[in-house]
Amino acid sequence: MNAEWDDKQTRIEAAKELLAQAVDSLEGSANLEIALRVYGHQSPITPTFQNCNDTKLEIPFGINNFQRIKGFIKTIKAKGTTPIARSLEASAEDFPDMNSRNIIILITDGLEACDNDPCVIAKKLKDKNINITPFVIGLGLNLDYLEQFKCIGSYSEAETKNAFKNALKNVVSKALVNTTVQINLNDISGKPVETDVTMFLYKAGTNQLKYTFEHTMNRYNNPDTLILDPSIKYDLVVNTTPKVELYDITIKKNIHNTIVLDAPQGYIRTRLVNATRNYNIQTRVIQDNNLASTLNVQDINTTDKYIVGNYKVEILTLPRSYQNIKVNQSSVTNIDIEAPGLFTYKCGNTTVGQIFILNVNGKWDWVCNIDQQSTSGQWYLQPGQYRVAYRQKSIRSSVYSYEQDFRIISNKTTSLNL
């Protein structure tokens, strides 16, 4: 706890400061008593000795003991070892009434340093019908150690003083407010496994945005627990592609609420199948039942996530092409695009004209127009059989129209003199 954070304040000093502020915020709360147990503060560690019994209930539970606890917090010095398991075992006897809602908040920057396993102690407490699930705040702990807290309770990590402040505030809120919420984003089989998407919670029927969350799975692969104000109703917008919404949600007080939305998703991947260089190609993804609205413009060689269903994809090449596709749960649908070839032309005078491609029915489809202000130009065109029809701009007779056919091959350059 004597290690320094970025602001040159030690972890113990930061913990004391923020813990005192938390005690201040709790004073005056109805039906609340708090106590303070400290470990590793009495016996210094020596090269040959560490006192694994260095844990003590310094301020017992009581009414209006907030100032006593704040006063003692100021005197704490980090001297000794880290007997987490023994402290947890001893803390079970600190509570005067096992019929109350009893909460432990454990703050540590060290691992279990003695010979006891916190998981064994947690099981002992449960075997005695002592139902205490600690909130653990780890200050700068190695994340590999988190699994050792899994059997104890809810874990929050704090790498900075500000992160510790937020974690402590969140833990105190969860401890005091017994109204919690999780948002299940279900896949096609009804399992809440979809995640990593922004959620907006509006006051129902309004544009008042109350909360913004990135949907997160906790360490046990369950949707994370949220604290929401239960006094209002909500409209939920989940920003998948396309978004899914749920309106007029009621949060019930003093229980754990589960909000369920169907948000099954899969992937669209765009790729060039035979390119020898990079090409800047985009695709326009359109929902099958709303062709006028663009859902997303996706770059070539990228993968994006979409709600399961049918889509039309417009490939923004010259000429345009289209694919009808289906996105399936958790699978990738590939949009394969042939690499274009480069077409260049030169002419002695400014020219009017158009370029066409021969379609599968043997007819010519328009592709693009020649720039009437220039004597040269170039385009990347998809492979195929083309025709350019043109005449010199200054000539006022249709009889001087010309045409030339040419073929475009992927990754090759085709040049014409008009």
301 and 193 housed in the same domain? no
364 and 407 housed in the same domain? yes
70 and 172 housed in the same domain? yes
pLDDT digits 0-9 by tens, 255-288 = 789 999 999 999 999 999 999 999 999 999 998 7
Q: Is residue 5 part of a domain?
A: no
* Sequence-ordered strand ranges (E) for 277-338: 282-287, 294-299, 303-307, 309-315, 321-327, 332-337
Please name the residue that has the structure tokens 């345009």. Answer: 320
User: According to the model, what pLDDT value does residue 408 have?
Assistant: 97
Look up residue 138 and give its two tokens.
């780890």
User: According to the model, what pLDDT value does residue 178 have?
Assistant: 65
Q: Which of 337, 365, 381 is the last residue of a domain?
A: 337
**Residue 276 belongs to domain with CATH number:** 2.60.40.1120
What is the C-alpha to C-alpha distance for residues 308 and 190, in angstroms, rounded to an integer? 13
pTM score = 0.63
What is the C-alpha to C-alpha distance for residues 198 and 215, in angstroms, rounded to an integer? 6
Domain membership of residue 362 as a residue range: 341-417
User: According to the model, what pLDDT value does residue 361 have?
Assistant: 95
User: According to the model, what pLDDT value does residue 347 have?
Assistant: 94
Q: What is the 3-state secondary structure (H, E, C) of 360-395?
A: CCCCEEEEEECCCCCCEEEEEECCEEEEEEEEECCC
User: According to the model, what pLDDT value does residue 289 have?
Assistant: 73
User: According to the model, what pLDDT value does residue 160 have?
Assistant: 75
332 and 208 housed in the same domain? no
Consecutive 10-residue averages of pLDDT for the chain (418 residues): 64 83 82 89 84 91 90 87 84 81 78 72 67 62 54 68 79 74 96 97 96 90 88 96 97 87 97 92 88 90 96 95 95 96 95 96 96 95 97 93 96 96
Q: Which of 126, 147, 176 is the last residue of a domain?
A: 176
Residues 6+ apart with CB under 8 A from 315: 281, 283, 321, 322, 323, 335, 337
